Chains A and B, each alone.
Chain A
Amino acid sequence: MTTEMVGIEIEDLHLAFGKTKVLTGVNLTIEPGEFFAFLGPSGSGKSTLLRSIAGFGPQPEGHIRIGGKDVVDLPPWKRNVGMVFQSYALWPHLSVRENVAFGLKERKMPSSEIGPRVAAALDLVGLKHLAERMPNQLSGGQQQRIALARTVVVEPKVLLLDEPLSNLDASLRVQMRRELLALQRKLGLTTIFVTHDQEEANTTSDRMAVLDGGVIQQIGTPQTLYDTPENLFVASFLGTANILEGKVERDGGDIRFVAGTGDKLLLSSEADGTGAIVLRPQNIAISEKPDADTLSGRILHREFLGSQIRYIVQAAGTEMVVDQGHKAGEAGYLPETDVHLKVNTQSAVWIPQ
């Protein structure tokens, strides 16, 4: 069950529900064999984008090319893209075997071939023994695997997963996402995975696109997006971010960020004009002594998280989140303590306005 790997190109895609714009100017290239994630909050258009690749929902403007062929005018049943639904959508009146065989029957495959193919697909997800069960006799995780088997058995060109893990409980979710990734690598299927959970996207995908308000905010590997967000939405949506607004001053060779409060930070990369800097909590150190380019502040509270202690510090006119690694025996700082924050400016990201 291996198919020729194909890529997906989406070019200038626009889509509206009536007068409400849902997708605006989406451009995207997904490489053959890539595991790609659409990440965004609910209402960001990620599911709509996935559904328009499968051919569901209103007809979009623009182009969707799968393996170089524009499918935007094709009905869903002629696209040969496999989709696994959030609700699994197993048909309750058909047995597991009949569910999995459905797509093959639609393709008018002789029944002598259907049998082995169904068996192989069920074997692939490790549920061969449940072939005669009805869907309502299966657990959530089993239903998920059957839905996957039903989709891959027809050897689709690409695999679309719409929040496939959201209906599973937490422990199963971690296991299933590893299985999904292993299966995808085994089949070499170009896969798109829609999720609102950044941990899911980070752990599975080769690259991902962050969406908000129907617009792609940034595309890249999970690490790139976390370390070098291109805008404030991406910065704050992925992980925790301290955002300080201000402007840049040049003093000879030095490039300094000046916050609204007058606090100054030395930047190590090129920057200009007004904007904001993004500081991750773990890239700030707390010291008791002032230094050049430290921010003075006061600890408001602390949360003990085990491997680290999270401090909320009033500094530079805002409440900053600062994470300090914790080792056994270290007491850390108490609330109401006056401290100084030393920023690792190598990691600070300048986002111009």
Chain B
Amino acid sequence: MTSSSRPAAGGRSLADRLPDALFPKLSGPAIVGLFIAIFLGGFLIFPVLQVIYVAFQDPGSGALTLRNFGDFFATSLFRESFVNSFYVSAMSVVFATLIALPLAYITTRFNFGGAMIVQSLGFIPLIMPPFVGAVAMQLIFGRNGTVNLLLREHFGFTIPFMDGLNGVILVQSIHYFPFILINLSTSLRNIDRSMEEAAQNLGSHGMRLFRKIVFPLAMPGYIAGAVLVFIKVFDDLGTPLLLNVNNMLAPQAYLRITSVGISDPMGYVISVILVAFSVLSLWASFLVMRGKDYATVQKGGGGLARRDLKTREKVLAYGAVALILLLVLSPHIGLLLLSLGTVWSYAPLPDGYTLQNYVTMWENSQQYIANTLLYAGLAALGDVIIGTAIAYIVLRTGIWGRKGLDYLATAALAVPGVVLGIGYLRSFQGIDVPFVGEPLASWWVIIAIALMIRRLPYALRACMAALQQVSHALEEAAENLGASKTRTIRRIVIPLMMGGILAGFVTSFATAAVELSATIMLVSSDADSPLAYGIYLFMQTPSGRGAGAALGIVAVVIVGLGTLLSQIIIDRDKKLKTQSGDH
């Protein structure tokens, strides 16, 4: 704790004290903290408040009013969009649960060969932006897609997997189920074996045991995952847009702003509803989980008791897992086929195979790729710098309001990309960047800033975790040997945090590289477009789909490599730390 020692005020005149009051001497970290607070205020809080303010403002007179909300609910399209968004989010949670629950249960509860593979394959959907998979899903599960063509040919019926809202639900649940899988598996692994054995000892077994003991104990993890899925789907813009499903909230907001104009209040009303729902869901989940920290693993405990499968169960389990994984990987398989195919239309598989799409993609997309590397690189760099600074201020200093800085940065979680985009357009349209001669809202740097704000919560958590692992005694040892605070940070703290910081950088970079919902609002010219927007443009025309898919594969490779790299960094870091701990 550093507390500023204040000299006794007695005996000094007001004139002596005035300069101190006007220009208080701030420590280095406090100045950095202040800059971060101003930055976040300007690029996160102000735009969002602006959006909320406009939503309550009469477009004509500028007076505060609830009329816009009245208009919203009086319009049948908006009512329908609202209901649809809710329905799609809820159903996505249901289907994501149907996918995640068996995978989590089978891999944690039984001695299941390949449990590791299943758990890692479960992550694969996350390394693909959902809207990229949407087109591929259309070709596999659409009305004239592979599955339905085969069904019609052999059984004479089709299933409307991808029709309208169904398509959004299918794509979203396949993409976001890993959130439930990861959280639920962790929860299940944290249940001490004795919890289950005590129930068996008292006469319980099978499904009853699962329903009454195991699942309730895993509930906190499940809810954490389910809420995340709900919010992500509710806020997502890219997938419905690409599937041409416009009667949902996020696409409506986008379309109102891009077609009717920046002054149309409906886009803002929708934004307020999106933010309110994100906050409400997080709050509701917080209420439900309060006081329910069920991590029960004790010393000597070994997680949920694993059981051997009987032959019949084994066949069933492997069958179910194979089917689910096939479904989960279908966007990737479809995308790969599409990128390598010549023509793929009204046929179960492409007519022929070629690399031409990659050539076309390369000729047309170098600018997109270069832009993406630039934006995502800048965003990720900014994220880890701000993240490290906030982590240090929160964990190592006693600066007033330091917790607020953490909350401020984390608040970005509750702001959908489309809302941030609208907020930037509205707030920065009138501000010209000096020497560039462009409004801030359409300058390319604003895209990088939007990505930075959007990814900051994740990078911040990575940096916090990294700093928490650095024992305070290591810093004190350096100071004891004569190193100043600044030198200690540079020579001891940062190097020890490096693993976590790098992992945060790579994750931020990879996910920022494929973000669409904020960027789509802010891209003002093709020359400034990042890869995600490029894919969106390609996918608008049937002839561009092949090249778009090729670009999609590039996106998947970038995110995949990024994820792999951050995993390797984290593992290596962990190994290093445990080794040094042993000796």
Which one of B161-169, B294-302, B513-521 is at the interface? B294-302
Residues in B with CB closer than 8 Å to A154 are 202-203
Q: Are A106 and B204 in contact (CB under 8 A)?
A: yes
Q: Does A40 contact B (CB under 8 A)?
A: no
Residues in A with CB closer than 8 Å to B208 are 106
Q: Digit string of B96-112 for contact with A (CB within 8 Å is 1, else 0)?
A: 00000000000000000
Q: Are A92 and B294 in contact (CB under 8 A)?
A: yes
Q: Does B194 contact A (CB under 8 A)?
A: yes
Residues in A with CB closer than 8 Å to B556 are none
Q: Does B199 contact A (CB under 8 A)?
A: yes
Q: Are B200 and A89 in contact (CB under 8 A)?
A: no
Q: Are B197 and A87 in contact (CB under 8 A)?
A: no
Residues in A with CB closer than 8 Å to B401 are none
Q: Does A280 contact B (CB under 8 A)?
A: no
Q: Are B194 and A103 in contact (CB under 8 A)?
A: no
Which residues of A (133-159) have their CB < 8 Å from a CB of B?
Answer: 134, 136, 150-151, 154
A134 to B201, CA, bound (A): 21
Q: Are A103 and B203 in contact (CB under 8 A)?
A: yes
Q: Digit string of B182-226 for contact with A (CB within 8 Å is 1, else 0)?
A: 000000000010110111111111001000110011010000000
Q: Does B17 contact A (CB under 8 A)?
A: no
Q: Are A81 and B217 in contact (CB under 8 A)?
A: no
Q: Are B203 and A87 in contact (CB under 8 A)?
A: no
Expressed in whole angstroms, the minimum distance between the Cβ of A162 and any Cβ of chain B is 9
Expressed in whole angstroms, the minimum distance between the Cβ of A8 and any Cβ of chain B is 16
Q: Are B300 and A86 in contact (CB under 8 A)?
A: yes
Residues in B with CB closer than 8 Å to A55 are 200
Residues in B with CB closer than 8 Å to A92 are 217, 292, 294, 296
A136 to B198, CA, bound (A): 17
A78 to B205, CA, bound (A): 10
Chain A residue total in the interface (Cβ 8 A): 27
Q: Are B201 and A82 in contact (CB under 8 A)?
A: yes
Residues in B with CB closer than 8 Å to A76 are 197, 200-201, 205
Residues in A with CB closer than 8 Å to B298 are 86-87
Q: Are A91 and B198 in contact (CB under 8 A)?
A: yes
A163 to B87, CA, bound (A): 52
Expressed in whole angstroms, the minimum distance between the Cβ of B202 and any Cβ of chain A is 3
- Picked from A80, A91, A151, the residue with its CB within 8 Å of the CB of B217 is A91
Which residues of A (72-109) have their CB < 8 Å from a CB of B?
Answer: 75-78, 80-83, 85-87, 89, 91-93, 102-103, 106-107
Q: Does A54 contact B (CB under 8 A)?
A: yes
Chain B residue total in the interface (Cβ 8 A): 26
Residues in A with CB closer than 8 Å to B195 are 89, 91
Residues in B with CB closer than 8 Å to A102 are 199, 202, 204, 212
Residues in B with CB closer than 8 Å to A83 are 197-198, 201
Q: Does A233 contact B (CB under 8 A)?
A: no
A89 to B202, CA, bound (A): 12
A77 to B199, CA, bound (A): 8
**Contacts A91-B213, A91-B217, A93-B292: A107 and B203 contacting too (C-beta < 8 A)?**
yes
Q: Does A56 contact B (CB under 8 A)?
A: yes
A311 to B291, CA, bound (A): 55
The residue on A at minimum CB distance from B209 is: A77
The residue on A at minimum CB distance from B195 is: A89
Q: Are A93 and B194 in contact (CB under 8 A)?
A: no
Residues in A with CB closer than 8 Å to B203 are 77-78, 80, 103, 106-107, 154
Q: Are A93 and B216 in contact (CB under 8 A)?
A: yes
Interface centre among B195, B203, B212, by most A CB within 10 Å?
A: B203
In the complex, number of A-B residue pairs with CB atoms less than 8 Å apart: 77
A83 to B200, CA, bound (A): 10
Residues in B with CB closer than 8 Å to A54 are 197, 201
Q: Are B202 and A106 in contact (CB under 8 A)?
A: yes
A80 to B201, CA, bound (A): 7
Expressed in whole angstroms, the minimum distance between the Cβ of A67 and any Cβ of chain B is 17
Residues in B with CB closer than 8 Å to A134 are 291
Q: Are B204 and A77 in contact (CB under 8 A)?
A: yes
The residue on B at minimum CB distance from A82 is: B201
Which residues of A (101-121) have their CB < 8 Å from a CB of B?
Answer: 102-103, 106-107
Interface centre among B197, B201, B216, B300, by most A CB within 10 Å?
A: B201
- Picked from A93, A136, A150, the residue with its CB within 8 Å of the CB of B202 is A150
A78 to B206, CA, bound (A): 13
Residues in A with CB closer than 8 Å to B219 are 93
Expressed in whole angstroms, the minimum distance between the Cβ of A119 and any Cβ of chain B is 18
Q: Are B204 and A89 in contact (CB under 8 A)?
A: no
Interface centre among B200, B205, B219, by most A CB within 10 Å?
A: B200
A91 to B292, CA, bound (A): 11
Q: Are B194 and A86 in contact (CB under 8 A)?
A: yes
A151 to B202, CA, bound (A): 7
Q: Are A93 and B201 in contact (CB under 8 A)?
A: no
Q: Are B200 and A75 in contact (CB under 8 A)?
A: yes
A80 to B291, CA, bound (A): 33
Q: Are A56 and B197 in contact (CB under 8 A)?
A: yes
**Contacts A93-B216, A93-B219: A85 and B202 contacting too (C-beta < 8 A)?**
no
**Contacts A87-B194, A92-B294: A77 and B200 contacting too (C-beta < 8 A)?**
yes
- Picked from A75, A80, A81, A85, the residue with its CB within 8 Å of the CB of B198 is A85
Q: Are A87 and B199 in contact (CB under 8 A)?
A: no
Expressed in whole angstroms, the minimum distance between the Cβ of B509 and any Cβ of chain A is 40
A230 to B36, CA, bound (A): 75
**Contacts A89-B195, A92-B296: A103 and B213 contacting too (C-beta < 8 A)?**
no
**Contacts A103-B202, A103-B203: A93 and B192 contacting too (C-beta < 8 A)?**
no
Interface centre among B202, B296, B305, by most A CB within 10 Å?
A: B202
A102 to B202, CA, bound (A): 8
A77 to B206, CA, bound (A): 10
A56 to B219, CA, bound (A): 25
**Contacts A102-B202, A102-B204, A154-B203: A85 and B296 contacting too (C-beta < 8 A)?**
no
Q: Are A87 and B301 in contact (CB under 8 A)?
A: yes
The residue on B at minimum CB distance from A76 is: B200
The residue on A at minimum CB distance from B295 is: A92
The residue on B at minimum CB distance from A59 is: B308
**Contacts A87-B298, A93-B216, A93-B292: A77 and B194 contacting too (C-beta < 8 A)?**
no
A54 to B199, CA, bound (A): 12
Q: Digit string of A47-79 for contact with B (CB within 8 Å is 1, else 0)?
A: 000000011100000000000000000011110
A76 to B194, CA, bound (A): 13
Expressed in whole angstroms, the minimum distance between the Cβ of B178 and any Cβ of chain A is 25
Residues in B with CB closer than 8 Å to A151 are 201-202
A80 to B204, CA, bound (A): 11
A150 to B198, CA, bound (A): 10
Expressed in whole angstroms, the minimum distance between the Cβ of A171 and any Cβ of chain B is 21
A81 to B202, CA, bound (A): 8
A13 to B208, CA, bound (A): 31
Residues in B with CB closer than 8 Å to A107 are 203
Residues in A with CB closer than 8 Å to B301 are 87
Expressed in whole angstroms, the minimum distance between the Cβ of B181 and any Cβ of chain A is 22
Residues in A with CB closer than 8 Å to B194 are 85-87, 89
Residues in A with CB closer than 8 Å to B213 are 91
A136 to B293, CA, bound (A): 10
A-B contacts besides A76-B200, A91-B198, A91-B213, 18 pairs, CB < 8 Å: A55-B200, A56-B197, A56-B200, A56-B305, A75-B205, A76-B205, A82-B201, A83-B197, A85-B194, A85-B197, A87-B192, A87-B296, A92-B217, A102-B202, A102-B204, A106-B199, A107-B203, A150-B198
A-B contact pairs, 21 of them (CB 8 A): A54-B201, A75-B200, A77-B202, A77-B205, A83-B197, A83-B198, A83-B201, A85-B197, A86-B194, A87-B194, A87-B298, A89-B192, A91-B213, A92-B296, A93-B216, A93-B219, A93-B292, A102-B202, A106-B202, A106-B203, A107-B203
